[in-house]
Structures are given as structure tokens and as C-alpha cells.
């Protein structure tokens, strides 16, 4: 039976009316947040954070004195490269008779200026060996986890960065190279306590961070920029940082001071509750402008990224407010930071609102529902050809058959 939305129609109408009624309150909070940014006192903020002794419960970035400055783009070079990678995967499926998964990495190389060209590619890889299907603790071989779900997503992200690194190494040129990824430079799938420490060490410290180290070494020889692009970001770390200056208590201790105060009634909620960063920066930044940089301050990065601290800025592309994440070594070189801003903004113009290189890489990487079904059929056919019986669950079989 298909979804019957008749009973939901009134609920949707009520939801829309409720959103409309709260709209003005929402707008007022954004205006107050902008006022706080205009009067932001960096030294006062820094002092209050230090005195909170870790009792501030909100995830906030490390803010510098120039974080709320605004910057225009500069002229982009005549000759440069943009390299982008993206990935998709087919997870381990208990309904097919083989333990395996597939990662498909799409890539795009765009050369601008003299002798311009474009190279698009897609490289699928099947993982079916025992060592591919698990991650084992190097210090205790009795501990292991299966590679699937969130862990597979993290592994795919690592493969995207490995592919990007290899493509950068293949370019022997002194002209600028923008290496671009879709989404975050943070392995968000591994945040939380559900994943063992050895998994984070293997995928992040011994994997992702090592690639970042390698790219940094390349950047010392080439004019290399590394960034990731987040479209329609939902983060609120910057807005949460405004809670610090709006806290009415002399000492910040969220659990002690506000545990019995309902959300929305706390003094800090006046500038932050239920609003997100992009809503504030959409009013703060003019088209083409970016903010200063903020440093991500979370345990996963602090514990496993080694020296590869990750920063970000917000960018008004003219179509949206994007979040651009960059490693420390890009932030530390003003020329690289300016060029990153300029080239990404131009990529968005060429892509009518979204980086054209990422559009092309995504098209190469995408795995459709038809692809997934065809993949499962190929696995079954190959097993049959080798004389091995195949099977599937009755649940999966029922989905394939249409009963009359």
C-alpha cells in the first residue's frame, strides 16, 4: 500500500502555520546575533572561555581577532588547475550471498588558461577479501569491527582523499592547484563514543591525517590549495560562541546555572537558540565576500588529526552561504587563503551556484538504484557460474516479486 497523506495534510498545514507564527521571533534573534558580532570583544570572549574551566556545554570554534572580518575576492590567475573527487559506495548487503562492498571514486581535473582541458574519470573498486571487511586493532588482534555503515562511509571519505592526493602528485607544474572535496574535512561519521579508539586511529590518524601530511609536504613544493565545500551548512558553532558573551552569570557553568531553565528561556538563547550560522552570515556578508577563519575545536580533530588543525570560513557565493573548510597550512599563508577564496567563488559562478568541478566529480561517482540492483545480479551470476549456490532472504525475495 502506498503512503496515504490524507491524514497528514492537516498536520502539515498546522506545521506551516506554526513556522509562520514563529518567523518574526526567528528574525529578531538573527538581528540580535548580528548586533553581537558587530560589538564582539575578542579578549572578553577569550577570558570567559578560559574561566569557564570546560563547563561550557556548547560546541564552539576557536575564534581569532580577525574571525569576524570580511574579505573580498582577488583576481584569479590566468593558468591554474582545479581537481575534485567525490565518492559513492554499495554497502555490505545481507540479502546478497557474498560479503563485499564497492567504493566508486569519481574525479575531475580542470585545466584553465593556456592549453585548457578537462579529464573525467570513475574508478570502482570491489572489497571482498577478509582484511577488507574488518578493521583490526594493531595492538590487540582479538579486537576488530566490521566495515559497514558509518565506518564504510568514513573509509570512502579516506579513499576520496587518497585519490585526490594521487591526482595532485601527477601534476608536474608550477601553476596553482585547487584540490577540492565535497562536504567536510572532518570524519563526522566517527564522532561519538560508539566507535572504538582503534578504528579512529586506523582511519583518521593512520589514514586521513597521513594524507593531509602528504599534501602539506607537496604544498611546500607546489602552489597547492586544499579545501572542502559544504553546501547549505546546518552548523551553529559560530552562533553558539555568541552565547558566551550573552551569558548573564558571572561564571559560565551550564549544568550548574541553567539545568532547570527551559531551552528558550536562558539568557544566551536570545542570540542563538534555533538559528544557524548560515542565516546570520547571509545578512552579514555581501555577495562574493568571505568571513575570517574559525578553527574547529572537537576531540576527534584534537586527538587524531595530529598537526593538521582544520579551519573554516563562510562564503557568500551569490546563490548561498557555503562553509569552506581548509587545513592550517592554507590559513597560515595569506596568499593561499586569498586564492582559495577566489577560485572557489569562480567555481561556483561557473557551476551556477555550486562548484562545477564537484558537479562533474559527483556525476562520475554516483551509484544509482539501477546500478545497485545490477551489481547484486552480477554477484549472483558470478557465483552461479562458479558452481556455488546463491540465496537471498525471503524479505528481499518478496520485494522482487509482485503478488497479485
**pLDDT tens digits, one per residue of 160-172:** 999 999 999 999 9
Distance CA 37, CA 39 (A): 5
Of the listed ranges 93-102, 175-184, 273-282, the one predicted with least confidence: 93-102
The beta strands (E) that lie in 266-320 are given as: 290-291, 294-295, 310-316
Are 211 and 386 in contact, with CB atoms under 8 Å apart?
A: no
Give percent of the chain with pLDDT exceeding 70: 95
Given a cut of 90, whether residue 304 has pLDDT beyond it is yes
Mean pLDDT of 18-32: 88
Instruction: Return the C-alpha cell found at 330.
Output: 592554507
Could you tell me which of 323, 321, 298 has the C-alpha nearest to residue 309? 298
Residue 351 has a pLDDT of 98
Given a cut of 90, whether residue 254 has pLDDT beyond it is no
Residue 404 has a pLDDT of 46
pLDDT bucket at 400, cuts 50 / 70 / 90: low
Residue 160 has a pLDDT of 99
* pTM for this entry: 0.92
- Choosing among 3.30.420, 3.40.710, 3.90.70, 1.10.287, the CATH entry for 70-235+276-367 is 3.30.420
Residue 399 has a pLDDT of 56
Residue 19 has a pLDDT of 86
Given a cut of 80, whether residue 55 has pLDDT beyond it is no
Of the listed ranges 48-52, 161-165, 219-223, the one predicted with least confidence: 48-52
Given a cut of 70, whether residue 392 has pLDDT beyond it is no
Sequence-distant (≥ 6) Cβ neighbours of residue 367 within 8 angstroms: 88, 89, 90, 102, 104
Per-position DSSP letters for 316-334, written without gaps between them: E-SS-EEEEEEEHHHHT-H
Sequence-distant (≥ 6) Cβ neighbours of residue 384 within 8 angstroms: 390
Distance CA 114, CA 163 (A): 25
Instruction: Return the C-alpha cell found at 272.
Output: 542563538
Given a cut of 90, whether residue 61 has pLDDT beyond it is yes
For the chain, the domains span 70-235+276-367, 371-400
pLDDT bucket at 179, cuts 50 / 70 / 90: very high
Question: Is the pLDDT higher at 18 or at 228?
Answer: 228
Residue 201 has a pLDDT of 96
Mean pLDDT of 368-376: 92
**Inter-axis angle of helices 23-38 and 277-284, nearest 10:** 60
Are 46 and 252 in contact, with CB atoms under 8 Å apart?
A: no
Amino acid at each position: 500500500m502506498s503512503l496515504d497523506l490524507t491524514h497528514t495534510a492537516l498536520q502539515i498545514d498546522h506545521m506551516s502555520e506554526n513556522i509562520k507564527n514563529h518567523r518574526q521571533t526567528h528574525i529578531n534573534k538573527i538581528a540580535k546575533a548580528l548586533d553581537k558580532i558587530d560589538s564582539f570583544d575578542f579578549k572578553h570572549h577569550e577570558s570567559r572561555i578560559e574561566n569557564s574551566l570546560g563547563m561550557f556545554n556548547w560546541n564552539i570554534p576557536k575564534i581569532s581577532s580577525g574571525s569576524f572580518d570580511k574579505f573580498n575576492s582577488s583576481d584569479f590567475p590566468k593558468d591554474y588547475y582545479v581537481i575534485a573527487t567525490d565518492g559513492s559506495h554499495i554497502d555490505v548487503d545481507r540479502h546478497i550471498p557474498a560479503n563485499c562492498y564497492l567504493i566508486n571514486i569519481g574525479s575531475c581535473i580542470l585545466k584553465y588558461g593556456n592549453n585548457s582541458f578537462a579529464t573525467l574519470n570513475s574508478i570502482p573498486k570491489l572489497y571482498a577479501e577478509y582484511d577488507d571487511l574488518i578493521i583490526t586493532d594493531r595492538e590487540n588482534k582479538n579486537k576488530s569491527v566490521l566495515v559497514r555503515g558509518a565506518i564504510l562511509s568514513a573509509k570512502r571519505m579516506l579513499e576520496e582523499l587518497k585519490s585526490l592526493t594521487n591526482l595532485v602528485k601527477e601534476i608536474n607544474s608550477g601553476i596553482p592547484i585547487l584540490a577540492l572535496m565535497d562536504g567536510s574535512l572532518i570524519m563526522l561519521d566517527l564522532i561519538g563514543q560508539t566507535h572504538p579508539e582503534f578504528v579512529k586511529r586506523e582511519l583518521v590518524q593512520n589514514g586521513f591525517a597521513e594524507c593531509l601530511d602528504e599534501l602539506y609536504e607537496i604544498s611546500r613544493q607546489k602552489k597547492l590549495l586544499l579545501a572542502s565545500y559544504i553546501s547549505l551548512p546546518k552548523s551553529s558553532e559560530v552562533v553558539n560562541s555568541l552565547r558566551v558573551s550573552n551569558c548573564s552569570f558571572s561564571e559560565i557553568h551550564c549544568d550548574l546555572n541553567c539545568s532547570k531553565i527551559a531551552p528558550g528561556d536562558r539568557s544566551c538563547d536570545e542570540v542563538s537558540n534555533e538559528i544557524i550560522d548560515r542565516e546570520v552570515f547571509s545578512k552579514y556578508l555581501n555577495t562574493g565576500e568571505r568571513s575570517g577563519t574559525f578553527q574547529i575545536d572537537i576531540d576527534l580533530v584534537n586527538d587524531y588529526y595530529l598537526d593538521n588543525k582544520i579551519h573554516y570560513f563562510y562564503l557568500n557565493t551569490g546563490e548561498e552561504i557555503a562553509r569552506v573548510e581548509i587545513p592550517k597550512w592554507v590559513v597560515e599563508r595569506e596568499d593561499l587563503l586569498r586564492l582559495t577564496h577566489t577560485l572557489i567563488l569562480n567555481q561556483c559562478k561557473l557551476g551556477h551556484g555550486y562548484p562545477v568541478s564537484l558537479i562533474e566529480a559527483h556525476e562520475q561517482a554516483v551509484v544509482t538504484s539501477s546500478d545497485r540492483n545490477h551489481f547484486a545480479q552480477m554477484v549472483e551470476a558470478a557465483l552461479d557460474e562458479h558452481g556455488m549456490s546463491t540465496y537471498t532472504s525471503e524479505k528481499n525475495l518478496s520485494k522482487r516479486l509482485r503478488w497479485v
